[in-house]
């Protein structure tokens, strides 16, 4: 009688091999999902970045381009929650190739003080101009009209968003104010030393902290001045009670 473990055609052995292969495929599929990134390759044949005026610091100049397939900007100050998983390259009509480093929405403020969102804007650090894609605007429901030397852009409700005059180089550009009130990713806030130790000790009271320092009850706590600062977590907890 042959040893069952040496039988290559044994049904039990084949079943085990099949189970192993299936498990390997599932693991590989899960790993691919975890490592998935949005890779974008743009080919802007009719867009010539060198013909666009480079924006200076604090300049909110945007070009309305019918050749660009997507909105894009090289100013990191315009982005708040940048999705850095979006990567890729963009190739322009002058055969220049530059990298895409993320995607985000940008909030603008119109002349009436209302906020408007420009969604899916690619962040391209080497791009020295800001471009609004008219094709992408049309896909989102906007209405683009060109008459005489003017270009007008209306939203899906018929509200005027942009009115630009054609420049000497036959391009349409407009100044748009970016709402920077929510750009928290570029703001740095630091807490005091006493606030840090207050949080480390599970939001203990300030008087208790002073007693702990004076009597040296806790080992390792520095000899510091306990500042009277407002703790948002403590306020929220007391508000709930």
Q: What are phi and psi of 183, to 5 degrees?
A: -85, 70
Assess whether pLDDT exceeds 80 at residue 82. yes
Q: What are phi and psi of 131, to 5 degrees?
A: -125, 130
For the ranges 26-30, 139-143, 205-209, which has the lowest average pLDDT?
26-30
Assess whether pLDDT exceeds 50 at residue 140. yes
Characterise 144 by phi-psi region: left (phi > 0), alpha (psi -120 to 50), beta (else).
beta
Assess whether pLDDT exceeds 80 at residue 157. yes
Q: How confident is the model at residue 186 (pLDDT cuts 50, 70, 90)?
A: very low
pLDDT in tens, 60-72: 889 999 889 999 9
pLDDT in tens, 222-235: 777 776 666 766 76
Over residues 208-236, the mean pLDDT reads 74
Distance CA 232, CA 163 (A): 44
Quote the pLDDT of residue 121.
Answer: 94
Retrieve residue 215's tokens: 């009597």
Which domains can be identified in the chain, with CATH numbers?
A: 40-181 (2.40.70), 193-240 (no CATH)
Quote the pLDDT of residue 72.
Answer: 93
Quote the pLDDT of residue 187.
Answer: 41
- What secondary structure does DSSP assign to the chain, as a single string? ---GGG-TT-HHHHHHHHHHHHHHHHHHHHHHHHT---EEEEEETT--GGGSPPPPTT--EEEEESS-SSEEE--GGG-SS-BTT-EEEEEETTS-EEEE--EEEEEEE-TTS-EEEEEEEEE-TT--S-EEEHHHHHHTT-EEEEETTEEEEE-TTS-EEEEEEB-TTS-EEEE-EE--TT-GGG------HHHHHHHHTTS--HHHHHHHHHTT-STT-----------HHHHHHHHH-
Assess whether pLDDT exceeds 90 at residue 77. no
Mean residue pLDDT across the chain = 76
């Amino acid at each position: 009688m042959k040893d069952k473990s040496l039988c290559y055609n044994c049904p039990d052995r084949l079943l085990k091999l099949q189970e192993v292969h299936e498990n390997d495929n599932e693991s590989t599929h899960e790993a691919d999902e975890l490592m998935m990134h949005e890779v974008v390759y743009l080919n802007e044949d009719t867009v010539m970045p060198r013909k666009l005026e480079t924006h200076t610091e604090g300049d909110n100049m945007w070009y309305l381009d019918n050749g660009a397939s997507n909105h894009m900007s090289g100013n990191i100050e315009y982005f708040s929650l940048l999705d850095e998983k979006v990567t890729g390259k963009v190739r322009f009509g002058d055969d220049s190739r530059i990298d895409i480093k993320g995607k985000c929405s940008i909030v603008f403020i119109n002349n009436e003080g209302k906020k408007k969102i420009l969604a899916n804007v690619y962040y391209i650090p080497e791009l020295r101009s800001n471009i609004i894609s008219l094709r992408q605007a049309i896909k989102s429901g906007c209405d683009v009209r060109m008459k005489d030397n003017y270009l007008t852009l209306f939203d899906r409700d018929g509200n005027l968003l942009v009115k630009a005059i054609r420049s000497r180089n036959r391009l349409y550009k407009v100044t748009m104010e970016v709402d920077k009130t929510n750009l928290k990713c570029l703001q740095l806030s630091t807490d005091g030393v006493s606030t840090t130790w207050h949080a480390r000790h599970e939001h203990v009271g300030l008087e208790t902290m002073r007693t702990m320092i004076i009597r040296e009850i806790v080992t390792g706590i520095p000899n510091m001045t306990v500042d009277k600062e407002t703790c948002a977590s403590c306020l929220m907890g007391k508000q709930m009670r």
